[in-house]
Amino acid sequence: MPGVLMVGAGLGGLAAARDLGAAGQHVTLLDKVRGVSGRAATRRVALPDGREARLDHGARFFTARHDRTRALAEAGVREGWNAEWTRGIPRGEAGQISGGGDGHPRYAPPQGLSTLGRTLARGLEVTTGVTVTSLERRPGGWRVHTRDGATWDAGTLLLNLPAPQLAPLLADLDLRGSDSEGTAERVAAVEYAPCWAAGIVLEHDLDVTWPALRADHPILEWLAREHTKRPAGHPPALTLHATPDWSRANLDRTPDEVIPDLLRAATEITGDLPPTLHTFAHRWRYAIPTRPAPGPCHWDPELRLGWCGDWFTPDEHGPRVETALLSGWTLARRVTGT
């Protein structure tokens, strides 16, 4: 039963799959949504006047603290799909703006952060719209069952899913006597904070100079002027991220219900907003790992079973886009034994 099956085409899964493909292995990726990149998501908004706005409503930017991530980011700048956005994010507290210049580059692709995932996915075999419901060990490999009744077989099974989605799939497996014994419980112990995100396309820009703001506010923790990431002429736009506590307390409300609250919170931070041309909200149930798993990934060479994600701890800098990439690259090295 040859080949590698990767469930989840987020950044960690794409990073691992790309390295495995370069090592000569045939990799198939499955993802339940229509595209790749996971929470490195960009919403495209078509305006009545024919313009288009692009808003990064999941991950905000990406950093490059490690040599390989730095090489990826800098290659992207040379190739034109990536750009340095800012070297610091100021903080808004009690109506005052302070700090923000730490000298560390934050990268934001001009066409949206999902460009990073699409770049990693080039040349890979990705099937979207596939929801995995169970995993089955079989002689010589694995079988994956999907909601539509289909099955996918492979000799090696890798998973790039948020821990709360991975845990129930592992719970039904008999992993006793293997290097994976006890891992289902460790995965189940991972905890996340949710996040309500909102996007706002404005009639004109705010009268400010900051590209983004870390807010000290009971409802909002992040405001970004999205057009500062984009080519000249992009419509003025804001992305708002609610605090974990507020998001958790309002998790079951609808987008239409939370948008007015998020807009009011934004006015309390920036003053009156310009007229809006378009608004949307998106609920991320698994936004930020607050209780991550130790180590960079999991790999069981006997079972040919492993998983990766931004909920691991490949370094000391905490969960972020770079964490997912590092986790995926490490998993690929362990699969290939390099």
pLDDT in tens, the chain (338 residues): 579 999 999 999 999 999 999 999 999 999 999 889 999 999 999 999 999 999 999 999 999 999 999 999 999 999 999 999 999 999 987 667 877 767 789 999 999 999 999 999 999 999 999 999 999 999 999 999 999 999 999 999 999 999 999 999 999 899 999 999 999 999 999 999 999 999 999 999 999 999 999 999 999 999 999 999 999 999 999 999 999 999 999 999 999 999 999 999 999 999 999 999 999 999 999 999 999 999 999 999 999 999 999 999 999 988 899 999 999 999 999 999 98
Give the global pTM.
0.96
Report the distance separating Cα 149 and Cα 272, nearest Å: 52
- Long-range pairs for 135-143: beta carbons < 8 A, 24 or more residues apart: 135/169, 135/170, 135/172, 135/173, 137/173, 137/174, 137/303, 138/1, 140/1, 141/1, 141/304, 142/1, 142/5, 142/304, 142/305
Q: Domains in the chain and their CATH numbers?
A: 1-36+121-190+292-338 (3.50.50.60), 42-61+89-104+191-290 (3.90.660.10)
Q: Are 24 and 127 in contact (CB under 8 A)?
A: no
Q: What are phi and psi of 68, to 5 degrees?
A: -70, -40
Give buried/exposed letters for 293-322 (b at 16+ CB in 10 A, else e): beebbbbbeebbbbbbbbbbbbeeeebbbb
C-alpha to C-alpha distance for 112 and 106, rounded to whole angstroms = 13
